[in-house]
A and B are shown apart, each in its own frame.
Chain A
Amino acid sequence: MTTPSQALAPAERAVQLLGGDLSEVALRQHLEGLPTVDAVGLEARAASFGTRSIKTTSKAAALDTVIRMIDLTTLQGSDTRGKVRSLVAKALVPDASDPSTPRPAAVCVYGDMVGNAVEALGSAWSAGKDDGINVAAVATAFPSGRASIGVKLQDTRDAVAAGADEIDMVIDRGAFLEGNYGKVFDEIVQTKDACRRDDGTYAHLKVILETGELVTYDNVRRASWLSILAGGDFIKTSTGKVQPAATLPVTALMLQVVRDWERLTGERIGVKPAGGISTSKDAIKYLVAVAETCGEAWLDPHLFRFGASSLLNDVLLQRQKLTTGRYSGPDYVTID
């Protein structure tokens, strides 16, 4: 369990921060040396994000920002090609009654559905560039992460080969809770490697911590730090399959980590809360958390995303209310 240094694959960020002789011990000392989290303070701070008054034009801007940050998601065992097609159709035209509605950042599907999503997106697919809708795929034996490393890596490679622009991987929570940070680290590094495309570019790697299974805020901070060190481009709260999923305190904590990382290295890492955010009101609280923790520069789909399925409909209803001046209803948005 405490295998020495050579077992760890090289990872640029970790080497720069912790030195060339990257060992499990060095990693452990670094992670366990992180300051502990003031849970009461964090929760009080998170609760205060809900008290801002955001009205009229600010609200309209916030709602559009939320839509642009959504990873429109379907992750069910019952997903069909038709379901993925209708998800993509919804991403292309979120609100048929208002063509000015922005599009979400990405659609998020299981790996075997990537090809269908790419096909359905057609010319709207970003294909690794910046002007279009990305296809994100969950990989590495999502949601449990309980499979051999070979299976996890092949899962990732298949999704990338099929055209996935973003890979949402899960960490091995069991290994993390055992204190086996090296194993978690190695898996992230190897998955990052598997995200490499033929032309040498990488699919964006989002690392799912599954904070609902990490038990403590201290663990969330360590796992966030570990994921960034191992090369993650995004840190993501949850799979959405475990309760509690994304919460405001956990997201605020992860935002603090990426803020600290930027102060330390100048590099910007993204954050993605996922699961359980289904109302515009909640989503706007997250935007406040982002703006007040990391600054407004972070209010960008490259740096913050919502993993959500039903959130989009609620935002559309609120948007319709702002445009028409009357309350809308579920008859005026799609049935997902």
Chain B
Amino acid sequence: MATSKTSKTATATKAAATEATTARPAGSRAAARAASARLDVPKTYKLFIGGAFPRSESGRVTEVTDARGRFVANVAKASRKDAREAVRAARKAQPGWAGATAYNRGQVLYRVAEVLEGRKAQFVDELVQTSGLTAARAAKQVEAAIDLWVWHAGWTDKIAAIGGNANAVAGPYFNISVPEPTGVVAIIAPQSEGLLGLTSVVAPALVMGNSVVVVPGSAPLSAISLAEVLATSDMPGGVVNVLTGDAAELAPWLASHADVNALDLTGAGSLDWISLEQSAADTLKRVIRPEPGIAPETPQRILALTETKTIWHTKSRL
């Protein structure tokens, strides 16, 4: 991946080349071929903030290349100000998402799986193109990711039964503990496993009603395509915000941000994650460390991003 400020150079050259081809005067067969040839419709992968797809405030992009180094697409490179906007959007969306019933959140997460299933081919293509996986292995990974969304959808109305409890207390009180969402969660997603890695950190944060600002790892194209899925899955805008870009640049701002409640450093193993954790401690954030971390697809991962609320209520004596 090479970084450049001039976003469209590569695509522009490509488009010019195509134009030259179509404009060439030639024999009838060549003309027919030219008439049927379509111009490329290259896609610029933008950020996902508050349900919209803005470019980076900084105007920067990163070029994504395929396994052989050929240009594939430009991806927005988020700045600290984009991170600030993303946190603001996440904060705004969080009470609404947490306030939805567990049943409703489950429906929405399942809907994400449904829409992903319908767009499977696109995700497979993107993975094959950028990660050099074979089509079969890419398909397997996308399917695993879809299944993981379904798995999490099922937990929304069940996790409280594991994380909560009716406590025995020495007095005439009902004493009940229930897990509550911690708030805004900033996530550095795993650097490997593309869509699956991303899903394995984003979905558990969403189950209980947190909102998320995620810096995806190795698969920025999958991350933005996933954002397009989320945008059409009844997920309220701002619940998930995707900041493609340099994790090393963005992570310190998210770690120190006073309005972020938890920091998931699962994909930060190659960064200086100890100072990130120290910086997060200033504002008492929950932190999930990259080592040893918490295994994906476990209830512990969901509960790691919750707070426990305990309620005392008198037992009446009739």
Contact = CB atoms under 8 A, between A and B. Distances in A.
Tell me the interface secondary structure of chain B in the complex: helix
B91 A327 contact: no
Interface string A292-336: 000000000000000000000000000010000111111110000
Contacts of A325: 256
Nearest to A328: B258
Interface in B240-270: 253, 256-260
Contacts of B253: 326-327
What bracket does the count of chain A residues touching chain B fall in? under 10
B256 A330 contact: no
B87 interface: yes
A330 B257 CA distance: 11
B289 interface: no
B48 to A, nearest CB: 20
A223 to B, nearest CB: 37
B78 to A, nearest CB: 14
Contacts of B87: 327, 329
| Most chain B CB neighbours (cut-off 10 Å) among A320, A325, A331, A332 | A331
Interface in B81-116: 84, 87, 91
A160 B231 CA distance: 55
A325 B282 CA distance: 13
A150 to B, nearest CB: 47
Contacts of B84: 327
A329 B256 contact: no
B79 to A, nearest CB: 13
Contacts of A332: 258
A279 B147 CA distance: 43
Interface string A264-283: 00000000000000000000
B61 to A, nearest CB: 22
A218 B29 CA distance: 65
B19 to A, nearest CB: 34
Nearest to A330: B259
B259 A328 contact: yes
B84, B258, B259, B260: residue with the most chain A Cβ atoms closer than 10 Å: B258
13 contacts: A320-B258, A326-B253, A326-B279, A326-B282, A327-B84, A327-B87, A327-B256, A327-B257, A328-B259, A329-B91, A329-B257, A329-B258, A330-B259
Interface of B: 84, 87, 91, 253, 256-260, 279, 282
Q: Which 5 interchain pairs have the tightest Cβ spacing?
A: A329-B259, A326-B256, A329-B258, A327-B257, A328-B258
